[in-house]
Amino acid sequence: MKRISEIYGSTKGPVYSFEFFPPKTPEGDVKLMETVKELSSLHPDFVTVTYGAGGSTKDKTVEISSLIGKNHSIPAVPHFTCVGADQAQILESLKRIRSEGILNLMALRGDPPKGQGEFKKTPGGFENATELISFIRLENLDFCIGGGCYPEKHPDAKTLEEDVRHLKLKVEAGADFLVSQLFFMNSAFEKFLNLVRKIYKRVSKTDFTK
């Protein structure tokens, strides 16, 4: 199975993917697999499978990613967050994902549980995605790691510039590729990309000119 970084590295053209979320019912499971089969005829470069808020779909996310990878030979990337788990629990989950033969992972901080305004790290857990990604690298689990980015700024960041500076730390910690939050105005994405290029200029190992 290919690493997502290899896919981006081997083409100058667009790379496209579909995002699926784990169904809540057995009927939904059947429908999802029918949909995956239908969409696979469009030859997406990869697909991703979301992780329910607070880890509510933890096992299901991995199970679906593994099934898609095995049955359709499409790299299927599970999303993963550090909400509600300490380092030992995170490590156990990551090892389980790796044992399914999954090479690619979207490593995210996650949102605070409903009703909890601010994100608070779980005792013994991680403050942000940068810490999670550093941990995955230190544990040598050999994942190709994706991170999230926000063309219109992450809500917790004071400014877009501050957010992009944090994004640089995320890449330096070991993120191999980034997937953006949805945006509706191309101009917002262009502004974001220009800022990324400006802030990354001095980082020789990262090529953001493509």
Ligand X SMILES: Cc1cc2nc3c(=O)[nH]c(=O)nc-3n(C[C@H](O)[C@H](O)[C@H](O)COP(=O)(O)OP(=O)(O)OC[C@H]3O[C@@H](n4cnc5c(N)ncnc54)[C@H](O)[C@@H]3O)c2cc1C
Provide the annotated active-site residues. 19
The residue within the footprint of ligand X, chosen from 76, 79, 104, 171 (CB under 6 A), is 79
Could you tell me which stretch among 9-17, 26-34, 38-46, 122-130 binds ligand X (CB under 6 A)? 122-130
What is the tally of helices (H) and strands (E) in the chain?
Answer: 7, 6
Pick 41 or 158: Cβ nearer ligand X: 158
- Residue 130 binding ligand X, by CB under 6 A: yes
**Burial degree of 44 (CB within 10 A; 0-12, 13-18, 19+):** middle
Alpha-carbon distances, residue 164 vs 83, 101, 175 (angstroms): 22, 32, 14
Residue 181 binds ligand X (CB under 6 A): yes
Quick one: which of 3, 58, 60, 109 contacts ligand X (CB under 6 A)? 109
Q: What does the alpha-carbon distance between residue 203 and residue 23 come to, in Å, rounded to a whole number?
A: 41
By CB under 6 A, tell whether 105 contacts ligand X. Answer: no
What order do you get walking across the sheet with 104-108 strand by strand? 17-20, 46-49, 76-81, 104-108, 144-149, 177-180
Size of the site for ligand X (CB under 6 A): 22
Residue 7 CA to residue 15 CA, distance in Å, equals: 8
**What minimum distance in Å lies between the beta carbon of 52 and ligand X?**
7
Distance CA 131, CA 72 (A): 33
Question: What residues from 146 to 175 belong to the interface with ligand X (CB under 6 A)?
Answer: 148, 154, 156-157, 163, 166, 169-170
DSSP secondary structure, 29-52, as one string: HHHHHHHHHHHHTT--SEEEE---
Nearer to ligand X, 3 or 170 (CB): 170
Minimum gap (Å) between residue 196 Cβ and ligand X: 13
Nearest CA-CA partner of 73 in 48, 30, 39, 40: 40
What residues numbered 34-63 form the site for ligand X, per CB under 6 A?
50-51, 53
- Using CB under 6 A, pick the residue from 65, 66, 93, 128 that binds ligand X: 128
Chain residues in the site for ligand X (CB under 6 A): 50-51, 53, 79, 81, 108-111, 128-130, 148, 154, 156-157, 163, 166, 169-170, 179, 181
